[in-house]
């Protein structure tokens, strides 16, 4: 069974409906007590700000249960804000760039803001919103059956910078290439929204469910 973490930040029902359209059982977990042995895969979705996300996870008691779930070796998927939260820290909501907000620390690296003026006035807007392609870096289970340069749906103003570049499994160009998907052992994450990416995204969710 797929467990979807409810921490008050986002598109839970749309993720659940995407799995259900594939005839895959998915349950929204309202509290950590529901994270039992029947949950074979865990999804951390999310829409909103990094600081709020960490506050909600902490207040609802999700942080330690997620770390324990990862240690079991079962697959976990972070989506959009959920990808960012698994990193060590973020510039979003930080009082200064050298005082980042701490994240879950499941992946080494930092979440950084897009520098909108770095690409010239009027050239690129922040947040990065809409359809864009992914440049698949290596064959992985999540992308089975998908072509390189497949288009997926993004909505974000910050991007992830893993310390270990080898965990990056896809990049996307928005002025410059940025990491748009990672795999670290049994932990997967996408900056884009598979549940909003039509056929391509549904195939990824199907692939994740069979990891």
Residue 137: both structure tokens together:
């870096």
128 tagged catalytic:
no
CB 68 within 8 A of CB 35: no
Catalytic residue among 41, 128, 156, 193: 193
> What is the CB neighbour count within 10 angstroms for residue 61?
12
Catalytic residue among 41, 80, 179, 206: 80
**pTM, two decimal places:** 0.95
All domains in the chain, ordered by first residue: 2-209 (3.40.50.880)
151 tagged catalytic:
no
195 tagged catalytic:
yes
Catalytic residue among 41, 156, 195, 206: 195
pLDDT tens for each residue of the chain, 211 residues long: 999 999 999 889 999 999 999 999 999 999 999 999 999 999 999 999 999 999 999 999 999 999 999 999 999 999 999 999 999 999 998 988 789 999 999 999 999 998 754 445 556 788 999 999 999 999 999 999 999 999 999 999 999 999 999 999 999 999 889 999 999 999 999 999 999 999 999 999 999 999 9
């Amino acid at each position: 069974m797929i467990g979807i973490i409810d921490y008050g930040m986002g598109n839970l029902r749309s993720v659940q409906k995407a799995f259900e359209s594939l005839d895959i059982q998915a349950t929204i977990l309202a509290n950590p007590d529901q994270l039992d042995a029947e949950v074979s895969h865990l999804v951390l979705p999310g829409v909103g700000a990094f600081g709020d996300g960490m506050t909600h996870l902490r207040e609802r008691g999700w942080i330690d249960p997620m770390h324990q779930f990862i240690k079991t070796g079962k697959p976990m998927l972070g989506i959009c804000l959920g990808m960012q939260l698994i990193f060590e820290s973020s510039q979003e909501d930080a009082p200064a760039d050298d005082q980042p907000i701490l994240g879950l620390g499941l992946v080494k690296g930092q979440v950084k803001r897009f520098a909108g003026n770095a690409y010239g006035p009027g050239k690129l807007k922040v947040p990065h919103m809409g359809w864009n392609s992914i440049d698949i870096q290596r064959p992985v289970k999540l992308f089975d059956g998908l072509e390189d340069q497949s288009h997926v749906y993004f909505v974000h103003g910050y991007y992830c910078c893993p310390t270990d570049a080898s965990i990056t499994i896809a990049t996307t160009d928005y002025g410059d290439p940025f990491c748009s998907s990672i795999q670290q052992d049994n932990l997967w994450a996408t900056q884009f929204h598979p549940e909003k990416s039509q056929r391509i995204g549904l195939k990824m969710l199907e692939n994740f469910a069979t990891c």
